[in-house]
Amino acid sequence: MTDDLAAPSSTTPLVETTITADLVRGALEIEATDRGLLPHRLPAWARARADAQLLTAEACPAGVRLAFRTRATVVEVDLRRTTMRFRGMPPRPDGRVDLVVGGVAAGSLSTSGGTTVTVDLATGATETADGPAATLRFAGLSGRDQDVELWLPHQARTELVALRADAPVAPLPSGDRPMWVHHGSSISQGSNAGGPTGTWPALAAAAGGVDLVNLGFSGSMMLDPFVARVMRDLPADLLSLEIGINLVNGDVMRRRVLAPAVHGFLDTLRDGHPTTPLLVVGPVLCPIHEDTPGPGAPDFSDGTVRFRATGDPADVVDGPTGRLSLRAIRRELARVVAERADDPHLHLVDGLALYGEADAAEHPLPDRLHPDAAGHRLIGERFAAHAFSVPTAWSRAGPWGDRRRSVGGR
């Protein structure tokens, strides 16, 4: 099945290019499967320590893109996706592949086919149906030397099957832009974003002129020590952590262990990046969890997927056994960063400054948990203005400030 972006502009036969690791950005490992190449956002040793939720999330290629230089007028990519549906519920929108040429959005095509897993929420039973790979055809490119990126769907496991073009394809030079490594929740992975380049980290990276490694994992920003080790060992010019919502809606810890867990994660990062600018991003506004702890639960009562908080606000108390709300987490994060005042490259970003009460009034969370496409744009623009503006106190610290200025960032 083929989806044409534009009519072919050339009769030159398309030649298949072997997909190699140097053509893929944003992935930490590529696994050869019996159907193609599966980009992973965690290496195998870390996946061996992960639970099923994290394994599902990391196999969704948020921030992963094919990146190459070519004079092609036509590029085709074959993909095999895996999607999940809930019986009786409307299907989620099809994932999309976004085309970016020379840093500018140039088109977007929907995926189709592949494997569909249907879940019966009443019984827990699942059914799996296999379909064909999808061929997405991007035509009408200039035919001049151009840098091309194909951003993969951010919310569906996607295997790369083949890449074809009507001109040779070469990897983009590596190390030409500063590297930003970000870890967060489904909000960072991109739930409810308009497409893979519409997630807030992708928008911020584009505004800042940086390369992105997006370690946003749906339901899985749990301060896992093995994720800290992964980030410690990656090259990075900027590190950031979006902390809070999963700790609350997963109801995974009490007040006593939050601060030590954050300290431990930061200590591990500093083992590999002692002076790299490091941003601790507090939770954006989520009214259902501002004062009410988790666990969170899906609510299908109106025929759509929404979320609700099931905890008791009376349990959010000072002391070691107090449960966590978002307000409590913001206070604890501020205390942790203050306790590390000897680290001049560590900075706290108030999540409410990225998306707060006034924003929720204008752009309410459609499922009560995740920002919509407009919300992602707001968060991305505001994060970029904070993180990549020059001068700021921390952007001048270490190598980041000098490299940032050298690539003409804002």
Q: What is the mean pLDDT of residues 298-308?
A: 83
Q: Which tokens hold the place of 385?
A: 């203005």
Among 90-94, 102-106, 190-194, 275-279, which stretch is predicted with the lowest mean pLDDT? 90-94
Query: Do 46 and 137 sit in the same domain of this protein?
Result: yes
Q: Could you tell me if 90 and 226 lie in one domain?
A: no
Distances (CA, A) of 4 to 1, 109, 112, 133, 165: 10, 8, 13, 15, 14
pLDDT digits (tens, 9 = 90+) for 32-47: 999 999 999 999 999 9
Q: What is the pLDDT of residue 121?
A: 61
Same domain, 118 and 195: no
Domain of 326?
175-410
CATH of the domain at 360: 3.40.50.1110
Query: Residues 6 or more apart from 136 whose CB is under 8 A from it?
Result: 2, 3, 5, 76, 77, 78, 79, 97, 109, 111
Claim to verify: residue 257 and residue 399 sit in the same structural domain: yes
Rounded average pLDDT over 238-243:
97
Q: Are residues 158 and 23 in the same domain?
A: yes
Number of domains composing the chain? 2
Residues 349 and 228 in one domain: yes
- 2 lies in some domain: no
Question: Is the distance from CB of 236 to CB of 279 less than 8 angstroms?
Answer: no
Residue 119 lies in a domain: yes
Evaluate whether residue 6 is within a structural domain. Answer: no
Tell whether 5 is covered by a domain: no
pLDDT at 403 over 50: no
Question: How do residues 50-65 score in pLDDT, each as one tens digit?
Answer: 999 999 999 999 999 9
Q: Which of 173, 191, 213 is the last residue of a domain?
A: 173
Q: What is the pLDDT averaged over residues 220-236?
A: 98
pLDDT, one tens digit per residue, over 65-74 is: 999 999 999 9
Together in a domain, 138 and 124: yes
Do 53 and 165 belong together in one domain? yes
Q: Which of 160, 208, 158 is nearest to 182 (CA)?
A: 208
Q: Are residues 25 and 86 in the same domain?
A: yes
Q: Does residue 7 form part of some domain?
A: no
> Is residue 3 in a domain?
no
Higher-confidence residue of 118 and 81: namely: 81
Does 141 share its domain with 183?
no
* Residue that is last in its domain, among 133, 156, 173: 173
What percent of the chain has a predicted confidence (pLDDT) above 90?
A: 79
Tell me which of 116, 148, 173 is where a domain ends. Answer: 173
Residue 4 lies in a domain: no
Residue 161, pLDDT > 60, answer: yes
Q: Are 100 and 63 in contact (CB under 8 A)?
A: no
Task: Using the CB atoms, write b or e for 163-188: b if 16+ within 10 Å.
Answer: bbbbbebeebeeeebbbbbbbbbbbb
Q: Are residues 124 and 186 in the same domain?
A: no
Would you call 90 exposed, middle or buried from its count of C-beta atoms within 10 A (0-12, 13-18, 19+)? exposed
Q: What CATH number did the domain enclosing 153 receive?
A: 2.60.120.260
Residue 66 forms part of a structural domain? yes
Q: For residue 376, give the nearest of 96, 218, 186 by alpha carbon.
A: 186
- Around Cβ 43, how many Cβ atoms within 10 Å? 16
Q: How confident is the model at residue 122 (pLDDT cuts 50, 70, 90)?
A: low
Average pLDDT, the chain: 90
Residue 143 neighbours by CB under 8 Å, 6+ apart: 9, 10, 71, 72, 73, 167
Per DSSP, the residues of 180-234 read: EEEEE-HHHHTTT-SSGGGSHHHHHHHHHT-EEEEEE-TT--S--HHHHHHHHHS
Same domain, 290 and 224: yes
Residue whose pair of structure tokens reads 């920003």 in the numeric block: 221
The mean pLDDT of 182-211, rounded to a whole number, is 97
